[in-house]
Amino acid sequence: MSSSSGIHIPYPVNQKENIAPHTQPTNEGYSKEKHEEEGAKSPPYHEDQICINQKHDSTHRQLRPRHIQLIGIGGTIGTALYVQIGHGLINGGPGSLFLAFTIWCTFILAVTNCMAEMVTYLPISSPFIRFAGRYVDEAFGVAAGYNFFIFEAALVPFEIVACNVIIHYWSDAVPAGGIIAIVIILYGLINVFAVRWYGESEFFLAMGKVLLIVGLIVFTLVTMLGGNPLHDRFGFRFWKDPGAFTELYKTGSLGRFLGFLQCLIQASFTVAGPDYVSMAAGEAQNPRVVMPRAFNGVFYRLTAFFVLGSLAVGILVPYDDQELKDAFTNGLPGAAASPYVVAMNRLQIRILPDIVNAMVLGAAFSAGNSYVYCASRALFGLALEGKAPKILTKCTKQGVPIYCVGVTLAIALLSFLQVSNNAAVVLQWFVNLVTASQLINFSVMAYTFICVSPVEFMACVQLLN
């Protein structure tokens, strides 16, 4: 087995997970030509070989390599990178924001390598949740599973509320309740039908998000060098005036340190790790070939998108920009919540702000769609292990855990809280809830890897002997 970290580990043989030996099975519907076109270098695997409890796990492997690749690179890039990151800029300043994102991405890269090893070793449904229960302790697995489910499910209403905030940049004529209802219905339509619908929708939406962030980074480089209607060669001006670090709660060095900590919390919320990629392992075609490549894509996402994205935001907008504060602090309709749109308005660039805002809206919708998928599969994994009601294991003929999707969409109804509250306030509620769950989630992955590694090592020893 080859993982993203380059370690070669033989496939497990006749262990607790009841994985069949490494044989050359028949695979219904397999096309040699198609397999070679997708760049696979190892034989295909029948689902029975890599799924435990196969008679109950009736999801279908319909996610193709191109789906997994784009999901790995851009699946969870959403509102947090384009919009909510402005909140971190206000609290800590550009220097703190860039430093916090760099540190956090380094940590996530290590966790990604851990998860890549485990998922390639055993590409099953809801992998790391079930690993925690099998290799650490059942109680640990239950806690990890429900924590991850709550984490993903809470992100769905966050993205729905964010969609409403983005739409109100143009007009507040459409009531918030109407927008929320439309988004929830669309999520239901995409996720209730065959998983390939989800794969196709995420393929194109993720491609759009990748193009958007690359375009915004190029936009930052061009405008900072004077390529804007004002011919203003501002460079790193805002790192000097008003400054690279701002004070939060206290004055002096303590206030600047608290601002950095707030940016670190923002980074831990914004930077999605390998957990999302791993959730697709149970429905990926030829996962032992495809999943390592998808995890490799996480590295490029971390460095190119999150680290450079945090740097770009600090270059374009000062932390004391009034329009940005109006959007986050006061929640005023018509205020640009995205720092990129704020910068375009300041530089008197026409049309482009509307285009970017529309693409950010698509990114927010895509991220929410991804979270519906992840949350439903997390609950499905718990049900397969007997840690959730058995009815949740029921799948449609297309392999969709229908009741799990329904429970997730029911939690999405929390987004209607915005109807009676300030949108910015509601967003912060979800940020606070999700960030704590995210930190627990990454800790679970790292600790589980420590427990799984000896099992992998012993598998190597047994095969070599």
The pLDDT of residue 462 is above 80: no
For the residues 177-199, what does the mean pLDDT come to? Answer: 83
Better-scored residue on pLDDT, 182 or 166: 182
pLDDT at 4: 40
Q: What is the pLDDT of residue 1?
A: 42
204 or 225, higher pLDDT = 225
- Sign of torsion over alpha carbons 92, 94, 96, 101: positive
Residue from 380, 384, 376 nearest 406 by CA? 376
The 10s digit of each residue's pLDDT in 392-402 is 888 888 778 88
Confidence of residue 223 (pLDDT cuts 50, 70, 90): very high
Average of per-residue pLDDT across 351-361: 86
Provide the pLDDT for residue 28. Answer: 41
Residue 312, pLDDT score? 93
> Are the C-beta atoms of residues 324 and 87 closer than 8 Å to each other?
no
| The pLDDT value given to residue 65 | 62
What is the predicted pLDDT for the residue at 381? 80
Positive or negative torsion for Cα 171, 172, 173, 178 = positive
Q: Is the peptide bond before 242 cis (omega within 30 degrees of 0)?
A: yes
Please name the CATH architecture into which domain 85-464 falls: Up-down Bundle (1.20)
pLDDT over 70 at 444, yes or no: yes
Residue 66 pLDDT? 63
Q: 55-67: per-residue pLDDT in tens? A: 444 555 656 666 6
The residue ranking higher by pLDDT, 237 or 27, is 237
pLDDT given at position 450: 79
The whole-angstrom separation of Cα 206 and Cα 188 is: 19
Using the predicted structure, report yes or no on whether residue 53 has a pLDDT greater than 60.
no
pLDDT at 140 over 90: no
Instruction: Share the mean pLDDT of the chain.
Output: 76
**Which stretch of 180-189, 390-399, 417-426 has the lowest confidence by average pLDDT?**
417-426
pLDDT band at 105 (very low <50, low <70, confident <90, very high): confident
Q: What is the pLDDT of residue 461?
A: 55
- Tell me if 419 sits within 8 A of 88, measured CB to CB: no
- Mean pLDDT score, 157-185: 84
Q: What is the Cα–Cα distance from 375 to 53, expressed in whole angstroms?
A: 20
Helices 85-121 and 252-270: crossing angle in degrees, nearest 10, is 50
- pLDDT at position 258 is 92
What is the tens place of the pLDDT at every residue in 294-316? 777 777 777 778 889 899 999 99
Q: Which residue has the higher pLDDT, 160 or 176?
A: 160
Separation CA 333–CA 74 (nearest Å): 29
User: Does residue 418 surpass a pLDDT of 60?
Assistant: yes
The confidence band for 457, taking pLDDT boundaries of 50, 70 and 90, is low
pLDDT at 162 over 70: yes
Q: 0.85 exceeded by the pTM?
A: no
